[in-house]
Amino acid sequence: MIRVLDGLALVLAALVVSDLLLWWWRPEELFLPLLQVADSEKRMLAIGILSNSRDPRAFEPLAALLKDTDKNVRKAGIVALANLRDPRAFDPLHSLLKDLKDEDPGTRSLIALGLSGLRDPRAVEALLGLLAKGEVRMGGDAFAQRIGRSGDPRFFDLFLPMIQDPKRDVRDRSFAIKALGHLRDPRAVDPLIAMLKDADGDIRYSAGEALGRLRDPRALGPLVALLADPIQTLRLNAKEWVADLRDPGATGAFLSSSARVNGANSFRRLP
Protein backbone atom coordinates (compact mmCIF):
# COMPACT_ATOMS: atom_id res chain seq x y z
CA MET A 1 0.00 0.00 0.00
CA ILE A 2 2.86 2.39 0.89
CA ARG A 3 4.54 1.71 -2.47
CA VAL A 4 1.32 2.53 -4.29
CA LEU A 5 1.00 5.81 -2.42
CA ASP A 6 4.64 6.64 -3.11
CA GLY A 7 4.05 6.00 -6.82
CA LEU A 8 1.02 8.26 -6.90
CA ALA A 9 2.98 10.97 -5.12
CA LEU A 10 5.71 10.76 -7.75
CA VAL A 11 3.17 11.06 -10.57
CA LEU A 12 1.56 14.10 -8.97
CA ALA A 13 4.98 15.66 -8.37
CA ALA A 14 5.91 15.09 -12.03
CA LEU A 15 2.73 16.81 -13.18
CA VAL A 16 3.40 19.82 -10.95
CA VAL A 17 7.01 20.06 -12.11
CA SER A 18 5.99 19.84 -15.78
CA ASP A 19 3.50 22.70 -15.32
CA LEU A 20 6.17 24.81 -13.62
CA LEU A 21 8.64 24.10 -16.41
CA LEU A 22 6.13 25.16 -19.07
CA TRP A 23 5.51 28.35 -17.11
CA TRP A 24 9.21 29.11 -16.63
CA TRP A 25 10.64 27.69 -19.86
CA ARG A 26 9.03 28.96 -23.03
CA PRO A 27 8.78 25.95 -25.40
CA GLU A 28 8.31 27.88 -28.65
CA GLU A 29 11.94 27.68 -29.76
CA LEU A 30 11.90 23.89 -29.50
CA PHE A 31 8.47 23.18 -31.00
CA LEU A 32 8.16 25.74 -33.79
CA PRO A 33 10.56 23.80 -36.05
CA LEU A 34 8.52 20.62 -35.49
CA LEU A 35 5.64 22.15 -37.43
CA GLN A 36 7.63 21.56 -40.60
CA VAL A 37 8.68 17.93 -40.08
CA ALA A 38 7.16 15.04 -42.00
CA ASP A 39 6.27 13.04 -38.89
CA SER A 40 2.56 13.76 -38.32
CA GLU A 41 2.66 12.75 -34.64
CA LYS A 42 5.44 15.22 -33.90
CA ARG A 43 3.59 17.94 -35.80
CA MET A 44 0.40 17.32 -33.84
CA LEU A 45 2.33 17.42 -30.55
CA ALA A 46 3.93 20.71 -31.52
CA ILE A 47 0.59 22.19 -32.58
CA GLY A 48 -1.00 21.29 -29.24
CA ILE A 49 1.82 22.70 -27.12
CA LEU A 50 2.09 25.90 -29.13
CA SER A 51 -1.64 26.54 -28.99
CA ASN A 52 -1.56 26.17 -25.20
CA SER A 53 1.41 28.50 -24.88
CA ARG A 54 -0.70 31.54 -25.85
CA ASP A 55 2.52 33.09 -27.22
CA PRO A 56 1.77 35.59 -30.01
CA ARG A 57 4.87 34.34 -31.86
CA ALA A 58 3.05 31.06 -32.49
CA PHE A 59 0.25 32.76 -34.44
CA GLU A 60 1.82 33.00 -37.89
CA PRO A 61 3.23 29.44 -37.96
CA LEU A 62 -0.11 28.06 -36.76
CA ALA A 63 -2.09 30.18 -39.23
CA ALA A 64 0.08 28.84 -42.04
CA LEU A 65 -1.16 25.35 -41.22
CA LEU A 66 -4.58 26.29 -42.58
CA LYS A 67 -3.07 25.99 -46.06
CA ASP A 68 -1.43 22.61 -45.41
CA THR A 69 -2.11 19.78 -47.86
CA ASP A 70 -2.97 17.42 -44.99
CA LYS A 71 -6.64 17.83 -44.00
CA ASN A 72 -6.00 16.64 -40.44
CA VAL A 73 -3.21 19.18 -40.02
CA ARG A 74 -5.52 21.93 -41.28
CA LYS A 75 -8.14 20.91 -38.72
CA ALA A 76 -5.53 20.84 -35.95
CA GLY A 77 -4.43 24.31 -37.01
CA ILE A 78 -8.01 25.59 -36.73
CA VAL A 79 -8.35 24.15 -33.23
CA ALA A 80 -4.99 25.68 -32.28
CA LEU A 81 -6.06 29.13 -33.47
CA ALA A 82 -9.34 28.71 -31.61
CA ASN A 83 -7.35 28.02 -28.44
CA LEU A 84 -4.83 30.79 -29.09
CA ARG A 85 -7.61 33.41 -29.39
CA ASP A 86 -5.33 35.82 -31.20
CA PRO A 87 -7.33 38.72 -32.69
CA ARG A 88 -5.42 38.28 -35.96
CA ALA A 89 -7.05 34.87 -36.44
CA PHE A 90 -10.15 36.24 -38.17
CA ASP A 91 -8.53 36.74 -41.57
CA PRO A 92 -7.05 33.24 -42.01
CA LEU A 93 -10.13 31.55 -40.55
CA HIS A 94 -12.53 33.56 -42.70
CA SER A 95 -10.39 33.02 -45.79
CA LEU A 96 -10.45 29.26 -45.26
CA LEU A 97 -14.20 29.43 -44.66
CA LYS A 98 -14.76 31.03 -48.07
CA ASP A 99 -12.60 28.39 -49.77
CA LEU A 100 -14.36 25.42 -48.20
CA LYS A 101 -16.50 23.06 -50.21
CA ASP A 102 -20.10 22.54 -49.18
CA GLU A 103 -19.40 18.91 -48.29
CA ASP A 104 -17.01 19.79 -45.44
CA PRO A 105 -19.30 20.48 -42.42
CA GLY A 106 -16.77 19.25 -39.85
CA THR A 107 -14.12 21.80 -40.81
CA ARG A 108 -16.77 24.50 -41.08
CA SER A 109 -17.87 23.75 -37.51
CA LEU A 110 -14.30 23.99 -36.23
CA ILE A 111 -13.94 27.38 -37.91
CA ALA A 112 -17.14 28.50 -36.20
CA LEU A 113 -15.64 27.47 -32.86
CA GLY A 114 -12.53 29.50 -33.66
CA LEU A 115 -14.56 32.54 -34.66
CA SER A 116 -16.65 32.34 -31.49
CA GLY A 117 -13.57 32.99 -29.36
CA LEU A 118 -12.61 36.23 -31.12
CA ARG A 119 -13.65 39.65 -29.87
CA ASP A 120 -14.09 40.91 -33.41
CA PRO A 121 -17.40 42.25 -34.79
CA ARG A 122 -16.59 40.59 -38.13
CA ALA A 123 -16.33 37.22 -36.39
CA VAL A 124 -19.75 37.70 -34.79
CA GLU A 125 -21.27 38.58 -38.17
CA ALA A 126 -19.74 35.51 -39.81
CA LEU A 127 -20.84 33.26 -36.96
CA LEU A 128 -24.41 34.56 -37.06
CA GLY A 129 -24.52 33.81 -40.79
CA LEU A 130 -23.21 30.27 -40.35
CA LEU A 131 -25.69 29.45 -37.60
CA ALA A 132 -28.64 31.03 -39.38
CA LYS A 133 -27.95 29.01 -42.54
CA GLY A 134 -27.47 25.79 -40.58
CA GLU A 135 -23.99 25.34 -42.02
CA VAL A 136 -22.35 24.25 -38.77
CA ARG A 137 -22.99 21.53 -36.24
CA MET A 138 -24.34 23.05 -33.07
CA GLY A 139 -22.99 21.36 -29.99
CA GLY A 140 -20.53 21.55 -27.13
CA ASP A 141 -20.70 23.61 -23.99
CA ALA A 142 -17.47 25.45 -24.88
CA PHE A 143 -19.06 26.70 -28.10
CA ALA A 144 -22.18 27.82 -26.21
CA GLN A 145 -20.06 29.58 -23.57
CA ARG A 146 -18.09 31.50 -26.18
CA ILE A 147 -21.29 32.65 -27.86
CA GLY A 148 -22.60 33.74 -24.47
CA ARG A 149 -19.46 35.76 -23.75
CA SER A 150 -20.08 37.79 -26.90
CA GLY A 151 -23.18 39.26 -25.27
CA ASP A 152 -24.57 40.07 -28.71
CA PRO A 153 -28.39 40.31 -28.50
CA ARG A 154 -28.73 39.05 -32.07
CA PHE A 155 -27.92 35.56 -30.84
CA PHE A 156 -31.06 35.75 -28.68
CA ASP A 157 -33.15 36.56 -31.75
CA LEU A 158 -31.50 33.67 -33.60
CA PHE A 159 -31.87 31.00 -30.93
CA LEU A 160 -35.34 31.80 -29.58
CA PRO A 161 -37.24 30.44 -32.63
CA MET A 162 -34.97 27.37 -32.63
CA ILE A 163 -35.89 26.26 -29.12
CA GLN A 164 -39.58 26.77 -29.82
CA ASP A 165 -39.61 24.68 -33.01
CA PRO A 166 -40.52 21.06 -32.13
CA LYS A 167 -39.52 19.93 -35.64
CA ARG A 168 -35.88 20.92 -35.17
CA ASP A 169 -33.29 18.36 -34.12
CA VAL A 170 -33.18 17.91 -30.35
CA ARG A 171 -29.42 18.49 -30.32
CA ASP A 172 -29.83 21.86 -32.05
CA ARG A 173 -32.61 22.91 -29.68
CA SER A 174 -30.59 21.80 -26.66
CA PHE A 175 -27.54 23.73 -27.85
CA ALA A 176 -29.64 26.86 -28.47
CA ILE A 177 -31.02 26.59 -24.92
CA LYS A 178 -27.51 26.29 -23.47
CA ALA A 179 -26.38 29.33 -25.47
CA LEU A 180 -29.34 31.36 -24.19
CA GLY A 181 -28.34 30.46 -20.66
CA HIS A 182 -24.80 31.67 -21.26
CA LEU A 183 -26.02 34.89 -22.91
CA ARG A 184 -27.73 35.77 -19.60
CA ASP A 185 -30.44 37.76 -21.35
CA PRO A 186 -33.44 38.12 -18.98
CA ARG A 187 -35.79 37.88 -21.96
CA ALA A 188 -34.91 34.18 -22.14
CA VAL A 189 -36.38 33.32 -18.73
CA ASP A 190 -40.03 32.87 -19.72
CA PRO A 191 -39.29 30.88 -22.92
CA LEU A 192 -36.91 28.64 -20.96
CA ILE A 193 -39.53 28.07 -18.27
CA ALA A 194 -41.88 26.91 -21.00
CA MET A 195 -39.22 24.41 -22.15
CA LEU A 196 -39.38 22.70 -18.73
CA LYS A 197 -42.65 21.15 -19.91
CA ASP A 198 -41.21 19.83 -23.18
CA ALA A 199 -41.81 16.16 -23.95
CA ASP A 200 -38.08 15.50 -24.43
CA GLY A 201 -35.98 14.95 -21.31
CA ASP A 202 -32.84 16.45 -22.88
CA ILE A 203 -34.71 19.68 -23.58
CA ARG A 204 -36.05 19.84 -20.03
CA TYR A 205 -32.57 19.20 -18.66
CA SER A 206 -30.95 21.91 -20.81
CA ALA A 207 -33.68 24.39 -19.86
CA GLY A 208 -33.28 23.66 -16.15
CA GLU A 209 -29.51 24.04 -16.37
CA ALA A 210 -29.87 27.35 -18.23
CA LEU A 211 -32.37 28.68 -15.69
CA GLY A 212 -30.10 27.65 -12.84
CA ARG A 213 -27.35 29.68 -14.49
CA LEU A 214 -29.60 32.71 -15.02
CA ARG A 215 -30.70 32.67 -11.35
CA ASP A 216 -33.88 34.62 -12.02
CA PRO A 217 -36.42 34.32 -9.17
CA ARG A 218 -39.20 33.74 -11.73
CA ALA A 219 -37.75 30.29 -12.35
CA LEU A 220 -37.94 29.13 -8.73
CA GLY A 221 -41.44 27.65 -8.83
CA PRO A 222 -41.02 25.87 -12.18
CA LEU A 223 -37.67 24.42 -11.07
CA VAL A 224 -39.15 23.19 -7.81
CA ALA A 225 -41.88 21.50 -9.87
CA LEU A 226 -39.10 19.73 -11.76
CA LEU A 227 -38.30 17.81 -8.57
CA ALA A 228 -41.26 15.60 -9.50
CA ASP A 229 -39.96 14.88 -13.02
CA PRO A 230 -40.15 11.19 -14.01
CA ILE A 231 -36.43 11.21 -14.94
CA GLN A 232 -34.25 10.64 -11.90
CA THR A 233 -31.31 12.66 -13.23
CA LEU A 234 -33.51 15.69 -13.74
CA ARG A 235 -34.89 15.42 -10.21
CA LEU A 236 -31.40 15.25 -8.74
CA ASN A 237 -30.05 18.17 -10.77
CA ALA A 238 -33.13 20.25 -9.97
CA LYS A 239 -31.94 20.29 -6.35
CA GLU A 240 -28.79 22.13 -7.42
CA TRP A 241 -30.63 24.47 -9.78
CA VAL A 242 -33.02 25.47 -7.01
CA ALA A 243 -30.08 26.05 -4.67
CA ASP A 244 -28.32 28.15 -7.31
CA LEU A 245 -31.15 30.65 -7.22
CA ARG A 246 -30.09 31.51 -3.65
CA ASP A 247 -33.68 32.35 -2.77
CA PRO A 248 -34.78 32.04 0.88
CA GLY A 249 -38.06 30.52 -0.28
CA ALA A 250 -36.23 27.76 -2.13
CA THR A 251 -35.24 25.94 1.07
CA GLY A 252 -38.75 25.22 2.26
CA ALA A 253 -39.98 24.28 -1.19
CA PHE A 254 -37.03 21.97 -1.64
CA LEU A 255 -37.51 20.23 1.70
CA SER A 256 -41.15 19.55 0.94
CA SER A 257 -40.11 17.67 -2.20
CA SER A 258 -36.91 16.03 -0.96
CA ALA A 259 -38.55 12.72 -0.11
CA ARG A 260 -39.04 12.11 -3.83
CA VAL A 261 -35.32 12.24 -4.59
CA ASN A 262 -33.51 11.07 -1.43
CA GLY A 263 -33.64 7.43 -2.49
CA ALA A 264 -31.40 8.06 -5.51
CA ASN A 265 -27.87 6.66 -5.26
CA SER A 266 -26.48 7.82 -8.61
CA PHE A 267 -25.85 11.20 -10.17
CA ARG A 268 -25.54 11.10 -13.92
CA ARG A 269 -26.22 13.75 -16.52
CA LEU A 270 -28.25 12.91 -19.57
CA PRO A 271 -26.09 11.91 -22.55
- Note if the pTM is more than 0.85: no
Distances (CA, A) of 81 to 28, 51, 151, 214: 15, 7, 22, 30
Q: What are phi and psi of 245, to 5 degrees?
A: -70, -20
pLDDT, mean of residues 1-26: 46
Is residue 156 a contact partner of residue 180, using CB atoms and an 8 Å limit?
Answer: yes
Return the sign of the alpha-carbon dihedral for residues 127, 133, 137, 142. positive
pLDDT in tens, 31-88: 777 787 777 788 888 888 888 777 888 899 899 999 988 888 888 899 888 888 888 9
- Band of pLDDT at residue 246, cut at 50, 70 and 90: low
Q: What are phi and psi of 85, to 5 degrees?
A: 55, 40
